[in-house]
A and B are shown apart, each in its own frame.
Chain A
Amino acid sequence: MVLWLLILIPILAAPFACMGQQWSRYAPRWIALSAMSVDFLLASFLGSQGHSLRASGHGVWLVESHVSWIPRWGISLHLGLDGLSVILILLTAFVGVVAIIASWTEIQTRVGLFHCNVLLALGGVIGVFLAIDLFLFFFFWELMLVPMYLLIIIWGHAQRRHASFKFFLFTQAGSLVLLVAIVALALLHQQATGRPSFDYADLMGLTLSSEMARWLMLAFLIGFLVKLPALPFHTWLPDTYTEAPTGATIILAGILGKTGAYGLLRFTVPMFPEAISDIAPFVMGLGTLSILYGAILACAQTDIKRLVAYSSMSHMGFILLGAFAGTELALQGTVMQMVAHGLSTGGLFLLAGALQERYQTREMGQMGGLWSVTPRLASMALFFACASLGLPGMANFIGEFLILFGSYAVQPFMIILASIGMVMAAIYSLGMMQRTFFGQQRDARMAPDLSNVAFGTLLFMAVLQIWLGLYPKIVLTTARPVMEQLVQSAVASPHPTPSPSGPLLSSHIGTSQGSAP
């Protein structure tokens, strides 16, 4: 029931946010803000439930809720929470708060409807991170699309029509492929046992012919890669990220991309271990290409939001790389990178949005020399640019380092290429700083600096970045049991993992059993 609360708080708050507009312009903002804060507190309460969480893994859920829904198809309302979900839900709630704060001054029309859509989208995302019935997962997966679409089409910038269509069509096409694979799995379960089932645990235990597994894996992969987005499926990304209003961009880049990564970690990798081991080098190659391609294109951008969009794609490439490396270290790095990327891109998009709000342009050529005008904005931008380029001491560094380090043994050549992406990150990040905040000031207009609220939020995010950069253990230990399970399930892969994970896991089980009585 607690898990349902996590989903229902934002969804039930949504209509109130919509109606709140009649009372005051600020009512919807406060309603949305408090709903997400309550969610955040609830999730951190669940996350702080001590060692029991750390011992949970696949099929061992810390909290679980199970109600039958559509018995005809063996579909149930089955939610489960483990370390991975906790981390991502905390991220969702936090980035959601940031997105609401980022829209505080930008959104002035139809405020109620805006926050209603934000809350619905966030509720859908939280549902995605909790659902362990595949039908329910798909349900939430689709649920977040419509509000996102409305956010872009109503409050977006000039090219919003084009961008929102592209967003919707791409993600929907990927989703439908995913749906067919999910249905096929359920029906295969029916063939094997006589009753259809969409339940994660049931489908995990299914034995598939290798050809079938390959096709289904491919469908799952495509569905999630579109959302991530990785190289051949990325074309919706720059347009959508650029044209969406700041709040929506933060949600898109900070959270929605993570649902794709989550899907890979939760479903694709553990469900089809053999098929994955065949295709892993290829997918890692896609990840490497995404890193380099995103970085090169980011260097070429003049539009600041587009630059951040491509850089975001580049950093998501690391996630893809790590998810398929098959070593525990790389997988842990992936989780870390998801959190770090959410924080750093969220911050960068917030700043880009703030710049656009002040100067009504996103062209860096027309900015320049803004350090003296808006010192707070500039210093925060410098900080987040550094975070994003992976300066040691920040969370991004931990994530990228762990991924590179963890997968070097598997694909040394690709990792060398991917590290070039980190170098290029320095080039475009610093280039962005140079063109926007240093040099000749092109626009003589005086613009207000960041408001106290926005500055405080960014400061808080910066503190989080540094904290996670210096003390990553909190994320790593929470995610470890799940990642260990992932590695275990991939034993059939031709890249067997180093043995330490075995004893580690058993010692964990030992301690948890010991602490139970």
Chain B
Amino acid sequence: MTLQDFIALSPLLDLGVFSLVTMLSIACRRHHARIAILAFVSCLLTLATLPWAATAAPRAVTTLLVVDRHALLYMGLVLTATMVIIALSYRYLNFQFREKEGVEEYYVLLLLATFGGLVLTTAAHFVSFFLGFELLGLSLCSLIGYLRTRRHPLEAAVKYLLLSITASALLLFGLALLYFESGAMTFHGVGAIMKQAQSVPALWLGGLILVLVGIALKLGLAPFHMWIPDVYQGAPTPITTYIATVSKAAVVALLLRFATEVGVLELPPVVHLFSLLAVVSMVTGNVLALLQQNVKRLLAYSSIAHFGYVLVALLAGGLPAAEAVTFYVIVYCAMSLGAFGVVTVYSSEGGDKNRFEDYQGLFWTRPWLAAMLALSLLSLAGIPVTAGFIGKFYAIAAGVDAGLWWLVLALIGNSVVSLYYYLRLIVTLFDEEPAQATAPQGLPIQSRQTAGWTAAFSLGFVASIILILGLYPGPLMEVIRDSVSNLLMVAVQRP
């Protein structure tokens, strides 16, 4: 490895070292605020190495990893989202752990999960793929069960563990089949051999589909979505946010690279499978979301639908597809951070606030919090001025460009259905307040509470991202075009 390799790899090295430093400093002395700040700074410093790494990109570091603009863009997304989540977590954990029983390991696990995410964004080889997948999944498993004295988180953790094992097993088997047929383990090598093959062998196709199912399980596409609502509801809310944003963004980054380098979308059976998954995801997610009375579950089902939209964009194939997917995922991360962030902030002030009733009349007691939630929901629904609109526009444009009329129509029909439940939650925010909200004199009324500056700052940041991307998406589009052209460029020197 040369110096250039180290430069290209600096984000991974940086975060790895800082995870260790964080762990060691916990071993020295426990202090919640200090560790939280340390974790935050770790991410910030890792973020700062990205421009430096970009000077060496695109570059293949060993056969395992490729650092190019695509990877760096997703790294930036993953790290920014992690920072927001760390800022939101602090108060939440303080509330959940009144007795101050060791909460610090939470941040180490978070950093490790993010490290896994970074590996996934750069993975170009079955081994790094699997390692990143596992690192992310296992860290998340313990994070989901982190509130170890409660029932729901433990249940969710067990569910996620089973899912992770299933996904890994399918994935391993699929990768083994691919290796068996091609004898190569890099995405690029597999793709090259596949392109030479006259006809696609059945085992190959089976392996590919198993790998894609493993990815679909992680993304929570229907019909592999069963774990999503329970885990979303049961996990501590910051971790729900993490699963919805970082974990999915990293897997999408990997999926994009895998799909383009292996040339998955040139195989008709896979395209059909993906079209089916897209439609089923959109319909299942939206229809089941209509029935929910729990905000976290509602957002969970809506996330299933949103990844259906992402698939529609992905199926368009080629440059516009990769662009649309990347844009949508970035936008989706911002919206989810906003929506779950509000739930986190609100929940860290008096128990979990999941039910619709908790949000009744929130606009009149906590206008900023409610406005933030309404903004995120409008964005999820794809109403202009918000980033969600541009995201949906991009997905529709990609679909129309590729002539996927039926999928686009399904997307539209589903958007209208989804509006119904988003509106239902927004209406709840504007309802009259329930009677008990008027607390008797002397007791602190809810409206007196404030979100705390870290939470306020991070939510403000997310809100401005949603608005800026909604009003002036041009610069981000240019960045994405740049990164995507990098992804499709096969000229990366491979050792």
Contacts and interface: CB of A to CB of B under 8 A. Distances in A.
Contacts, number: 67
A27 interface: no
A128 to B, nearest CB: 12
A177 B413 CA distance: 9
Nearest to B397: A183
Given A72-B477, A146-B383, A183 B393 contact: yes
Nearest to A215: B405
Nearest to B327: A72
A172 B419 contact: yes
Contacts of B423: 149, 164-165, 168-169
A24 to B, nearest CB: 20
A73 B415 CA distance: 22
A169 B415 contact: no
Nearest to A71: B474
A46 to B, nearest CB: 26
B401 interface: yes
A72 B476 CA distance: 10
B419 A177 contact: no
Secondary structure of the B side of the interface? helix
B396 A180 contact: yes
Contact of A187 (B400, B416, B474): B400
Contacts of A71: 474
Contacts of A460: none
Contacts of B409: 180
A33 interface: no
Interface in A136-161: 138-139, 142-143, 145-146, 149-150, 153-154, 161
A179 interface: yes
Contacts of A179: 393, 396
Contact of B400 (A150, A176, A177, A184): A184
Interface residues of A, number: 31
Contacts of B95: none
A72 B474 contact: yes
A70 interface: yes
A139 to B, nearest CB: 5
Given A70-B474, A70-B477, A180-B396, A146 B378 contact: yes
A165 B420 contact: yes
B427 A72 contact: no
Contact of B416 (A153, A172, A184): A172
B263 interface: no
Task: State the majority secondary structure of interface residues on A.
Answer: helix
Q: Chain B, interface size: which category?
A: 20 to 34
B18 interface: no
B408 interface: yes
Contacts of A164: 423, 427
A282 interface: no
A72 B478 contact: yes
Interface in A53-107: 69-73
A139 B400 CA distance: 19
Nearest to A68: B474
Contacts of B397: 73, 183, 186-187
B55 to A, nearest CB: 25
A184 B402 CA distance: 10
Nearest to A69: B474
Contacts of A69: 472, 474
Contacts of B420: 165, 169
A137 to B, nearest CB: 11
A25 to B, nearest CB: 17
Given A183-B397, A183-B400, A150 B430 contact: yes
B427 A177 contact: no
A154 B367 CA distance: 14
B473 interface: yes
B131 interface: no
Interface in A164-215: 164-165, 168-169, 172-173, 176-177, 179-180, 183-184, 186-187
A169 B383 CA distance: 12
Contacts of B396: 179-180, 183
Given A165-B420, A173-B416, A187-B397, A143 B473 contact: no
A186 B472 CA distance: 19
Contacts of A180: 396, 400, 408-409, 412
A173 B478 CA distance: 30
A169 B286 CA distance: 14
Contacts of A187: 397, 400-401
A82 B44 CA distance: 52
A95 B389 CA distance: 30
Contacts of A135: 393
B385 interface: yes
A241 B185 CA distance: 64
Interface in B407-437: 408-409, 412, 415-416, 419-420, 423, 427, 430
Given A146-B378, A154-B430, A165-B423, A176 B383 contact: no
A71 B415 CA distance: 26
A186 B378 CA distance: 25
B384 interface: yes
A297 B400 CA distance: 41
Contacts of B378: 146
29 contacts: A69-B472, A70-B473, A71-B474, A72-B474, A72-B478, A138-B384, A139-B389, A142-B383, A142-B389, A145-B383, A146-B383, A161-B427, A164-B427, A165-B423, A169-B416, A169-B420, A172-B415, A173-B412, A176-B415, A176-B416, A177-B412, A179-B396, A180-B396, A180-B412, A183-B393, A183-B396, A183-B400, A187-B400, A187-B401
Given A164-B427, A176-B415, 4 more contacts: A139-B385, A173-B416, A179-B396, A183-B396
Smallest CB-CB A-B distances: 3 pairs: A72-B477, A142-B384, A176-B412
